[in-house]
């Protein structure tokens, strides 16, 4: 618990450990340097926007320690693009966030080194196609963790978002719901695909007025739910692409409970907060700990040359019935 608290404080202070530079200062040879793993956040610029990724991060910390590896940089897409521009100009790759680049170059030139083959990358979330080629130049070993499978662009561990969405919507239909809204990302998003394909399977028309494109944050869930409550024909059930969105929906409903509108709400992820909401959130469990464990194993396996083809490991998800869904009628 103390270790986790230290990291929470470090995150609040925007501290990122410079593992590679630290090892260089110790004078260790490449053959003795532990394997370093960087993390790339593709959906948000920080993990505090979505607890799903924060929980993945904590499991990653534990798994790296268990395997004698070091945590490197926690980067986002703007970081990667900034590093690419810097590399184009200087052919050097900074190991720090861009806010500290200039000062660290002056104080500690050894922190600026070309990427070594003992550095791997974990991608949290869906990675834009134009970024993948940049990452391949920078990292010898890449593994993604997501709910959206790629076209075997790199090794990946997934829990298929379309399958999770189908389980969620099937459950709502089994409770008698046919007017089911969707709140979440719609751009090449497997959870949205699973939502509308399940409706079509049951010959339920897709009403585009019930589809709400968001960035999948709690704030967006709260805002959209307030808009829904102003409409005349309200859905009897809400399917949210992730738990953070659903928590915002439940908060909006709680603030407006005097209106007497209580739709069923279901989502995907099973983050810790979903067990503490009122009502407790019905959700689809994503096996985050197991996904991280397998992702690290794939990175190490790839580093040791034990597999050459790109690998996709898919884990199952399951429904957790709680209090936020009820029978319709």
DSSP 323: S
pLDDT at 32: 65
CA dist 147 and 152 (Å) reads 14
pLDDT at 93: 46
Cross-strand bridge partners of residue 71: 37
Q: How confident is the model at residue 7 (pLDDT cuts 50, 70, 90)?
A: low
- Model confidence pLDDT, tens digit, residues 238-283: 999 999 999 999 999 999 887 789 999 999 999 999 999 999 999 9
Percent of the chain with pLDDT over 90: 67
Q: Could you tell me if 287 and 56 are in contact, meaning their C-beta atoms sit under 8 angstroms apart?
A: no
104 has a pLDDT exceeding 80: no
CA max distance for the chain: 71
CA dist 242 and 184 (Å) reads 8
112 has a pLDDT exceeding 50: no
Cis? peptide before 187, omega within 30° of 0: no
Provide mean pLDDT across the span 81-109.
55
Q: Could you tell me if 119 and 36 are in contact, meaning their C-beta atoms sit under 8 angstroms apart?
A: yes
Closest CA to 322 of 289, 286, 277: 277
Q: Whole-structure pTM over 0.75, yes or no?
A: yes
Q: Which residues contact 247 (CB under 8 A, 6 or more apart)?
A: 218, 221, 273, 274, 277, 281
Backbone angles phi, psi at 311, to 5 degrees: -115, 140
Average per-residue pLDDT for the chain: 85
15 has a pLDDT exceeding 60: no
pLDDT at 23: 45
CATH 3.30.360.10, domain 161-285, yes or no:
no
CA dist 200 and 206 (Å) reads 7
- Model confidence pLDDT, tens digit, residues 26-37: 444 445 688 999
The domains of the chain are located at 2-139, 161-285
């Amino acid at each position: 618990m103390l270790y986790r608290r230290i990291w929470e404080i470090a995150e609040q202070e925007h501290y990122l450990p410079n593992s590679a530079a630290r090892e260089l200062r110790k004078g260790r040879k490449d053959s003795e340097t532990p394997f370093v793993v960087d993390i790339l956040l593709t959906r948000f610029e920080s993990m505090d926007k979505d607890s799903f990724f924060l929980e993945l991060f904590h499991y990653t910390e534990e798994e790296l320690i268990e395997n004698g590896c070091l945590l490197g940089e926690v980067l986002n897409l703007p970081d990667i693009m900034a590093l690419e521009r810097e590399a184009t100009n200087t052919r050097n790759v900074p190991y720090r966030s861009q806010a500290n680049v200039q000062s660290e170059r002056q104080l500690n030139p050894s922190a600026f080194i070309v990427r070594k083959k003992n550095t791997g990358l974990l991608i949290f979330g869906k990675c834009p196609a134009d970024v993948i080629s940049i990452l391949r130049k920078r990292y010898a070993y890449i593994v993604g963790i997501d709910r959206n499978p790629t076209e075997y662009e790199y090794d990946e561990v997934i829990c298929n978002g379309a399958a999770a969405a189908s389980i969620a919507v099937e459950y709502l239909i089994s409770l008698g719901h046919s007017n089911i809204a969707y709140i979440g990302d719609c751009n090449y998003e497997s959870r949205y695909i699973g939502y509308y394909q399940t409706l079509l399977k049951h010959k339920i028309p897709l009403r585009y007025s019930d589809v709400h494109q968001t960035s999948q944050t709690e704030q967006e869930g709260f805002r959209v739910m307030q808009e829904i409550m102003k409409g005349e024909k309200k859905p009897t059930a809400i399917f949210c692409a992730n738990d953070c969105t659903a928590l915002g929906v439940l908060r909006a409903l709680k603030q407006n409970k005097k209106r007497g509108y209580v739709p069923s709400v279901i989502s995907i992820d099973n983050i810790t907060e979903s067990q503490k909401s009122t009502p407790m959130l019905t959700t689809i469990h994503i096996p985050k700990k197991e996904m991280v464990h397998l992702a690290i194993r794939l990175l190490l396996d790839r580093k040791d040359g034990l597999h050459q083809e790109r690998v996709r490991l898919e884990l199952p998800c399951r429904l957790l019935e709680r209090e936020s869904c009820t029978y319709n009628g």
